Chains A and B, each alone.
Chain A
Amino acid sequence: MTFLNYLLSGISLGSIYAIIALGYTMVYGIAKMLNFAHGDVIMVGAYICFFAVSRFALPPLVGVLAAMAVCTVLGILVERLAYKPLRAAPSLAVLITAIGVSYFLQNGAQLLWTPNPKVFSSVVGTGRLALFGGQLTVSYVTITTIVSCIVIMVALTLFTGNTKMGKAMRACSEDKGAAQLMGINVNSTISVTFAIGSGLAAIAGVLLCSAYPNLVPTTGSMPGIKAFTAAVFGGIGSIPGAFLGGLLLGVIEIFAKAYISTQLSDAVVFAVLIVVLLVKPTGLLGKQIREKV
């Protein structure tokens, strides 16, 4: 039973990584850039929801929608101001800019909302579902997170596969130059990608803080890095890969804590990542892309 409890804890943690990883992987898959500010957009989303619910006493759903709206606008703004001017620059410049944006958001949040920790009240309640006469429990947050992950996964897959904008996105991801020649507006396509990615970040932020209710300006950074690892683990750019990578990372982390050492858990997680990348360099579900020379 203890084993199953640990497994469930791992899945809870993993589902949070998974939902953050979805945003990472979606932006990477289409814009081919690592948006290291993703974790901080998550933090902004959580703050917006916190203020809507705790300060203005709005219903949680309105809080989530407000967070999504603000994050979407923020995502578009960041893309316009920080990334778009660097479209032709080497990818390293964009990467460093993303790190800069991340620090900018963290310090901005600290100025605006002070570094004092706030306690986020869960948008889905703190209840738990008891199984086997209460020996195993799963929190509602975990269930909501997993359901949200699956819904988002299916929606993203359908969107990129079937809609006109989705097809434009896939075209941009394969070859920006050729896409432009075909009459696709590459700039606005990438902006839409960021808008969707940031909207997802808001949902991830709300769920992250519902599960672990401590809200500070650095809330998003460590989960962001872990989720990035999860996305690489599952194969960055692959939407189901992010889900699988996130869940596995969470389970490995909890098992490493429980059966190896609470101190070494992160080391174990990253060691597993190294092994996976050595054996399968594109991640678990990543596509093998042949580089043309």
Chain B
Amino acid sequence: MKHTTMKKMIALALATIMLVALCACGGGSSEPEAGASAEAFKLGGTGPLTGGAAIYGNAAKNGAQIAVDEINAMGGIQFELKYEDDAHDAEKAVNAYNALKDWGMQLSLGSVTSAPANATSAEGFADRIFSLTPSASAPTVIEGKDNMFQMCFLDYPTQGGASAQYISDMQLGEKIGIIWKNDEDYSTGLRNSFVDKAEELGLTIVAESTFTEDNNDFSVQLTEMQNAGADLVFLPMYYQPASLIFAQANAMGYAPKWFGVDGMDGILTMEGFDPTLAEGVMLLTPFNADSTDEATQAFVAKYQELYNEIPNQFAADAYDCIYAYKQALEAAGATPDMSAEELNDLMIQQFTSMTFDGLTGTGMTWDATGAVSKSAHGMVIQDGAYVGLD
């Protein structure tokens, strides 16, 4: 008796799980079914659409979708876009990648975040599927893989160095402190390149402190900075921990100059965030949603209309990826009936020779390693908005 009840319960639980899973899938895939048309290029990408990093994956997916819709409406080259969820997990990313390959993906948008991108780029390299990742900035994503390219502003070894250069040029701080997240490739890479460049330039780093995932209490790190007398603190991290650091430093009465990185973008659009906490925060960034540039404004307006929020850099990078593909495919005269391998060779040729203008920069070029070269702008947050520093 007891046994059958248990069985029923398990059956019910399984049924519920399947139902939930079905609903989840139903919500995410508005794309046409596999093999629906031979007129469109099949573009696939993986990103965290659920879980803690979902904000980045969804932003990239939405940004890419806007570009695809615009391009399809123009006639000419047609795209079919499919994003699979990798939940910011390398193993799930490989499964997602394989699902896309079965679907018939011809060109890839890689993965949105670095750890999954490391895994999927190895697969894409072996399968000869060309990839242009909007935002996975780890150097290991493209290292030694001739068909892996990046759209994100300055792969981070450059960004960390550029930040140090900027601080030195503008004489922003005498004693520099760094708080970084040492269980994350992004933060560690930025910190390393910053420190290397800072030593070269003779900047004084008085304190360094680290934190890890799920850490909410920064009192120890901030006390270390304060005790060392740091007058400028470099924060190579995403905006979520940064918002906690600002709030806790403010409560402690510690007010150094803050210097962020591109991951800081998004802090002002956090619901409920008090912008006075981020007053005077400086950062280098290629995309600014408040820009007066016409293309940027049109993109921001469309994104807001469709998704009810201000797009961040991930969305802009993904948007640019699609247009870069369009330009390269047109220049190469590629057609959708070509195999992934044929397209792969054409794209390597095109990307290493073309110049691309997008939302996140003008005159972008790629070298043979797959790294993009574009310039960053110094920005400072004033009265709750980004203002150009130069």
Contacts and interface: CB of A to CB of B under 8 A. Distances in A.
Interface string B215-259: 011011101000100000000000010011001001111000000
B216 A212 contact: yes
Chain B interface residue count: which class?
35 or more
A115 B51 contact: yes
Interface string A93-118: 10001001000100100110001111
Given A110-B50, A213-B247, A116 B271 contact: yes
A254 B271 CA distance: 29
A125 to B, nearest CB: 10
B223 A119 contact: no
B243 A117 contact: yes
Interface stretch (B39-47, B52-60, B284-292, B363-371): B52-60
A6 B226 CA distance: 13
Nearest to B219: A9
Nearest to B53: A115
B13 A100 contact: yes
A288 interface: no
Given A116-B309, A213-B247, A254 B221 contact: no
Interface residues of A, number: 46
Given A88-B2, A89-B6, A115-B58, A54 B271 contact: yes
Contacts, number: 107
A183 interface: no
Q: Which of B6, B219, B247: most chain A CB closer than 10 A?
A: B219
Given A137-B252, A222-B214, A119 B9 contact: no
A214 B219 CA distance: 15
Contacts of B243: 117, 119, 213-214
A13 interface: yes
A262 interface: yes
Interface in A198-233: 211-216, 218, 222-223
A5 interface: yes
Given A5-B223, A119-B272, A107 B50 contact: yes
Interface stretch (B204-212, B326-334, B351-359): B204-212
A116 B272 contact: no
A117 B243 CA distance: 10
A132 B309 CA distance: 46
B217 A214 contact: no
A89 B27 CA distance: 35
A238 interface: no
B338 interface: no
B9 A89 contact: yes
Interface in B34-82: 50-52, 54-55, 58
A115 B272 contact: no
A107 B271 CA distance: 20
Given A89-B9, A118-B270, A216 B52 contact: yes
A128 B223 CA distance: 16
Nearest to A259: B220
A117 B50 contact: no
A115 B273 CA distance: 15
B211 A262 contact: yes
Interface of A: 2, 5-6, 9, 12-13, 50, 54, 85-86, 88-89, 93, 97, 100, 104, 107, 110-111, 115-121, 126, 128, 137, 139, 211-216, 218, 222-223, 253-254, 257-258, 262-263, 266
Interface of B: 2, 5-6, 9, 13, 20, 24, 27, 50-52, 54-55, 58, 182-183, 209-212, 214, 216-217, 219-221, 223, 227, 240, 243-244, 247, 250-253, 270-274, 309
20 contacts: A2-B227, A9-B217, A12-B217, A50-B272, A88-B2, A89-B2, A89-B6, A97-B13, A104-B20, A115-B51, A115-B52, A115-B55, A117-B240, A118-B272, A128-B251, A137-B251, A212-B216, A218-B52, A222-B214, A263-B212
Given A85-B5, A117-B270, 11 more contacts: A88-B2, A89-B6, A116-B55, A117-B55, A211-B216, A214-B243, A218-B52, A262-B209, A262-B210, A262-B220, A263-B183
